[in-house]
Structure 1
Amino acid sequence: MLSHHIQLNGQPFHYLGWGKTGAPTLLFLHGFPEYSAAWAPLATRLADQYHCIAPDQRGYGQSWSPEAVEHYKTHLLVSDMTALIDHLGGGPVTVIGHDWGAAVAYGLAFRHPELVNRLIILNGVHPAPFQRAMAAGGAQTAASQYFHTLRRDGAETWLAENDFARLLTLFSAKMDTSWLSGDTLAAYKTEWARPGRLRGMINWYRAAPVRLGAPGEALTDLPPIPADKFKVAMPHLLIWGQNDTALLPVSTEGLEDYCADLTRIDIADADHWLVHQQPDRIAAEIRSWLA
């Protein structure tokens, strides 16, 4: 594994790399509250055949973390990754996204399909089905209530208190985080404690355009979602840990309407943190699908 510090769009960014330059590139995009090294369990299992690249996205780790919420709009997060792909020698590349990283991965697929030859999502959601599910007043609305908590002023301070106790509680959310211990936990806390990082991480929630009501409240005044702007033109693999309590299966219903070529693999004994729980299985599924 090699650590790289570069400039993207005039700002400092950091990424990790595994494997040999010149091999097909896999671009790994982490979610909340992770960082580049979250992909190590998967990248180390694929580095024999691929050049694996995992950046700290804006607001995370050793990358640029502006304070203002407006710096975290999706098109800006996508622009960071288009600049990274250009830095790596240009596309197309295979993009792998998890959680919020999936939002950026889908954004790349929508806005820059010439840069993405394959799209792989691990427990992440396409914005159209997710917004429908969040707004319906049902199970996903209830499961997403933490959005309201994270969007509040001062949420980053509240989460950091008592050695990140509340952040760790939110992280687990009735899911298996037994992998988050020892040196791994210490490394995560180091990244969270960097000045301004926790605010940057939370700003992804504040800047997101998705709307959410109270538990049981259905929102009926959503603007139309133009299907042509949210098409996934390239082959798309969705790997889904079925025990996820934050993102529910209903949030993926209708995904096939936006995809020209969709493959879905459900894993019954994994949850939102499937990369850490079953890296051998996930790596094998990715390798098989790409082959």
Structure 2
Amino acid sequence: MQDASHRFVDLNGQPFHYLEWGREETPVLLFLHGFPEYSGAWGEVASRLADSYSCIAPDQRGFGQSWAPPEVEAYEMRELVGDMAALIDTLDQKVTVVGHDWGAATAYGLAMFRPELVSRLIIINGVHPAPFQRELAAGGAQTSASQYIRFLRAEGSEDKLSANDFESLMKLFSAKMDLSWLSGERLELYKAEWSRPGRLKAMINWYRASPLKVALPGEALSDVPALRKDRLQVRCPHLLIWGDNDTALLPQCIEGLEEYAADLTVEHVGDADHWICHQKPDLVAGLIRSWLESQPG
């Protein structure tokens, strides 16, 4: 696996850190991690694509070695998208954006609201806000699976998660899925990132700042604002890679996605879950490579 280079950059006047694999003067893939990961989470996939692409994986705001303001409102989506738009501006080219988990939210935001920066969009077990809000409000299976969001939003949840050497965070992380890849030196690297001052609270502030409404199980919400379909369109080619055994994000969350992405390709992987990038990096990298090579231009 190719080693990454560490880079530091000021974005909108604030310090950010990112990892980079590959060669200059090749097409850029911008990899956006989710919770509770960091830039290093992309090493297995990015290093397998570094022969043909410049692979850039930032620590998003509040994570790792990047800026972590304490205020909840600092993690509203316009701020998160603004960070990554500023990073793309430093690259002097449109990029393919790859997002997983919360990174998918930022990736969709870039594709929908800053389309001039995004040539293609790849999402890996992440969700578009409209179908996800529909399922969170419905009171059904996804509502039940997402009750952890209500826990995370509560005051002091970061203290509960960090207690006993992050015991509760590890349970939340797994969500009864295969976490065998997170052990030994890799686990220690993750814990080192979680232990940076103020980071765990900042990471959780992504949930606190989100406007998504989560119902109680069996109690559908009736006061969810209507989302304008015309404003939430992905107009570039869009690949979705989906590990079917995900217990955090259920398949209902991607039903109707084609209404928001006219040029959509979906690749299902039957023997992987939410952590597919770690469980099957060869497969994920191969799917990304073959899809990108199939695209015109």
Q: How far, CA to CA, are the matches of 1:109 and 1:13 in structure 2? A: 21
2: CA distance between counterparts of 1:6 and 1:114?
22
Instruction: Give the superposition deviation at 1:131.
Output: 0.2
1:264 counterpart SS class: strand
- After superposition, the C-alpha distances for 1:34-88 in whole angstroms (9 at most, x for unaligned) are 0000000000100000000000000000000010100000000000000100112
Counterpart in the other structure of 1:186: 188
Task: Report the count of equivalent residues.
Answer: 290
1:219 equivalent to 2:221? Answer yes
**For residues 157 and 66 of structure 1, what CA distance do their matches in structure 2 show?**
18
Question: 1:97-108, aligned counterparts within 5 Å?
Answer: 97-108=99-110
Q: Which residue of 2 aligns with 1:17?
A: 20
Give the counterpart of 1:113 among 94, 112, 115.
Answer: 115
Deviation string for 1:167-202 (max 9, x for gaps)?
Answer: 000001110000000010000000000000000100
Q: Does 1:243 align with 2:229?
A: no
Summarize the alignment of residues 1-291 of structure 1 with structure 2, pairs less than 5 Å apart: 1-89=4-92, 91-291=93-293
Distance 1:260 1:84 in 2: 27
Aligned equivalents of 1:73 and 1:37: distance in 2?
24
Residues 71-112 of structure 1 show CA distances to partners (whole Å, capped at 9, x for unaligned) of 0000000000001001122x3100000000000000000111
* Deviation, structure 1 residue 217: 1.1
In the alignment, residue 120 of structure 2 is paired with which amino acid? Answer: R
One-letter amino acid of the structure 2 residue matched with residue 107 of structure 1? G
Aligned-partner Cα distance in 1 for 2:85–2:224: 30
TM, length-normalised to structure 1 = 0.99
Counterparts of 2:272 and 2:250, CA distance in 1: 13
CA distance in 2, matches of 1:140, 1:43: 30
C-alpha separation between the residues in 2 aligned to 1:109 and 1:217?
A: 33
Indicate the percent of aligned positions where both proteins have the same amino acid: 64
Q: 2:9 is aligned with what amino acid?
A: I
Give the TM-score, by structure 2 length. 0.97
Deviation for aligned residue 1:5: 1.2
Q: Report the RMSD for the aligned CA atoms in angstroms.
A: 0.5
TM superposition shift of 1:220: 1.4
* Code of the aligned partner of 1:215: P
Residue 282 of structure 1 deviates from its aligned partner by 0.5
User: Equivalents in 2 of 1:285, 1:5: separation in Å?
Assistant: 30
Instruction: Supply the distance in 2 between the matched residues of 1:81 and 1:45 (Cα, whole angstroms).
Output: 23
TM-aligned CA deviation for residue 224 of structure 1? 1.0
Q: For structure 2, list consecutive stretches of 5 or more residues without a partner in the other structure.
A: none
**Alpha-carbon distance in 2 for matches of 1:234, 1:5:** 29
CA displacement at 1:21 relative to structure 2: 1.4
Q: Residues of 1 paired with 2:86 and 2:78: CA distance?
A: 12
Structure-2 separation of matches of 1:58 and 1:235: 27
